[in-house]
Amino acid sequence: QVSNRQPSIAHLGPLPPLARGMSDALEMVPTCIGLVGVGTIGSAVVRGLCRVGGLKLKTKFVISPRNAEKAAALAAEFPDLIRIAGSNQAVVDATDCVIISVLPKQAEEVIGALKFRPEQQVLSLIATCPLQRIRELVAPAEQCAVGVPLPAVAIRQGATLVMPSLPWAQAIFELLGSCVAVDDEAVFKRMQCMTALMGDFYKRQLTAQQWLESHDVPNVQAAAWVGAIFSTMAADSAKAGPDTLHKLVEEQTPGGVNEMVWKGQDEDGAYQGLCLGLDQAHVRFMIGKTDPDLAPAAKRS
């Protein structure tokens, strides 16, 4: 599912430094990357990689001319690293690695019209298009991967799911934040469902902000506090191990306010509704369309 949210960069301060051990990733990233489909997610990936440029990444970029406004903005921001090609095929012809980031409904038409080379690397960001179908469309290119990045890759604070675990594909996203690679497509599809929680995450924050405002908290302070406190809480689970989340829930003081709130939500069916929503998201990722009978409200009725 391609987000239509434009990455927000200015308010987040300086970019994070590269972690130790990233020198290997720098060496594995292809030196010439093409982008077919200059939408929000594709732009975010290229923007994030360009912002690594000052840290010895030697990659140059060729991007497609469609979505002219976004393409022009990228080229203007990084004139020494990005050039706009005359067509999608010109992007493919000029690059060693091609990132494909078109809408799912455009995938067959756009990719099917392109001619790839056997040695090319292809990275699809099309969430609902199976890896096997991508391989068929880009043949004779053999090195293919699917990535599911979120918009914060633009500021190198992203989290990306990749399949399969090809070193060059992992390297691209390791430079842009966290990367989790899997080789089993069934596992990949289940994990992909977590990306569908982005809107729910922001809606929960918005609800909290609106609750504060309804009780006479000024909107500036309400928004700042909600954003900050959610970020602080998420920091404790950012590098989660198998038991981390269970322990964080258990740590809430027995009989305290935090325990009261989560138990109240649990008794009200909020977490059951979350699981039902994830079931519905999984079906959509699998078949490419929504089944309204699987909506949480429908399942409960």
State the Cα–Cα distance between residues 163 and 146, nearest whole angstrom: 5
Does residue 173 have a pLDDT over 70? yes
Mean pLDDT for 30-54 is: 91
Contact (Cβ atoms closer than 8 angstroms) between residue 280 and residue 295: yes
Q: Which tens digit of pLDDT belongs to each residue from 202-254?
A: 999 999 999 999 999 999 999 999 999 999 999 999 889 999 999 999 999 99
Helices within 51-197 (DSSP H only)? 68-77, 88-94, 107-112, 131-138, 167-174, 185-192
Q: Which tens digit of pLDDT belongs to each residue from 240-290?
A: 999 999 999 999 999 999 999 999 999 999 999 999 999 999 999 888 888
pLDDT of residue 55: 56
What pTM was estimated for this model as a whole? 0.82
State the Cα–Cα distance between residues 192 and 184, nearest whole angstrom: 12
C-alpha distance from residue 210 to each of 221, 234, 244, 265 (Å): 12, 21, 30, 18
Q: What share of the chain is helix, strand, coil (3-state, %, to 5)?
A: 55, 10, 35
Does residue 3 have a pLDDT over 50? no
pLDDT of residue 172: 94
